[in-house]
Structure 1
Amino acid sequence: MELQPVRQTVKTPASWFTGDVYMTPIYNGTGPSRMTAALVRFTPGARSNWHFHAVGQTLHVHEGVGLVGTRDGSVLRIHAGETVICPPDEQHWHGAAADTFMSHFALLENKPDGSDPTTWLEPVTDEQYEQANKS
């Protein structure tokens, strides 16, 4: 058993997110575990870019109301206590609703070689985000 200290919260890169988003790392697996876990906090209106994960991603909403969108135009409105499973290679984005904070635990696995499983794409446009908020 090992107790790990609380890690420093960092502001996420503007090249991957729109708005103010903060991430607190929780765990980054060491062999044989490949699990990565982080608490991600979105201010109202903040969101990720489009992206996908080689081995999928699980999002567990900690507080607030958020949105998860996919390329086919599907949008889920997510609430505290709910969990979203994003399958491998599905292009998606997630963030807070326009009028509330949202935080979620992001759970994913690194690739077998230990490299980052996330491929970042272009920002979600304001029009795409506004349409998602109307859903």
Structure 2
Amino acid sequence: MDITPKTTSTKGPSGLFTGDVYFDVIAKGDAPSRLRVNIVRFAPCARTAWHTHAAGQTLHVTDGVGLVQARGAEVKVVRQGDTIYTPPGEWHWHGAAPEHFMSHLAMWETTGAADESETTWGELVTDEEYGYPG
């Protein structure tokens, strides 16, 4: 059994996130495991860029109110206790609603393929795309 001490929170880089986003790595997929888990904390209006995951992603909202969207679909509101699954290759983004902080566990796996990126990042989500549905 290994116990990993808490590490310093990392600020999400501006090329991949809009606004103030911080994450802590909980599981980094040390072989033979391919599981990766981060807790991600979003300030109001903060969000990821569009992205996909080669093996899909599960989010579990631990606090606050957030927004999620798959490309071509409506923006959806998520709240503490909600779990969101995004299938492999689906372009999506997630973040906090206006006037609310939001934290979630982000869980995904690597594919194990040396030539395949587990996450493919796209463009930042515009303010128009972010539009809050209510």
Shorter-normalised TM range? over 0.9
Tell me the percent identity. 48
RMSD, matched Cα: 1.2
Q: What corresponds to 1:76 in structure 2?
A: 76
> Which runs of no fewer than 5 residues in structure 2 stay unpaired?
none
Cross-structure match for 1:117: 118
SS in 2 for 1:134: coil
In the alignment, is residue 30 of structure 1 matched against residue 30 of structure 2? yes
The answer (yes or no) to whether the contact 2:75–2:133 under 8 Å persists in 1 is no
Partner of 2:130: 129
Contact 2:76 2:133 in 1 (8 A): no
8 Å Cα contact 1:8-1:25 kept in structure 2: no
TM-score when normalising by structure 2: 0.94
Kindly tell me: are residues 26 and 112 of structure 1, through their superposed partners in 2, closer, same or farther at Cα, counting changes over 3 Å? same
Q: Normalising by structure 1, report the TM-score.
A: 0.93
SS in 1 for 2:30: coil
**What displacement does 1:111 show?**
2.5
Q: Secondary structure at the match of 1:60?
A: strand
Q: Deviations over 1:92-130 (max 9, x none)?
A: 000000110000000001121366400000011111112
The answer on whether the counterparts of 1:27 and 1:38 sit within 8 Å (CA) in structure 2 is yes
Question: What secondary structure, in the 3-state scheme, does the structure 1 residue paired with 2:62 have?
Answer: strand
- Give the deviation of 1:74 after TM superposition: 2.4
After superposition, where does 1:1-135 map in structure 2 within 5 Å? Answer: 1-113=1-113, 116-130=117-131, 133-135=132-134
CA distance, structure 1, for counterparts of residue 35 and residue 74 of structure 2: 27
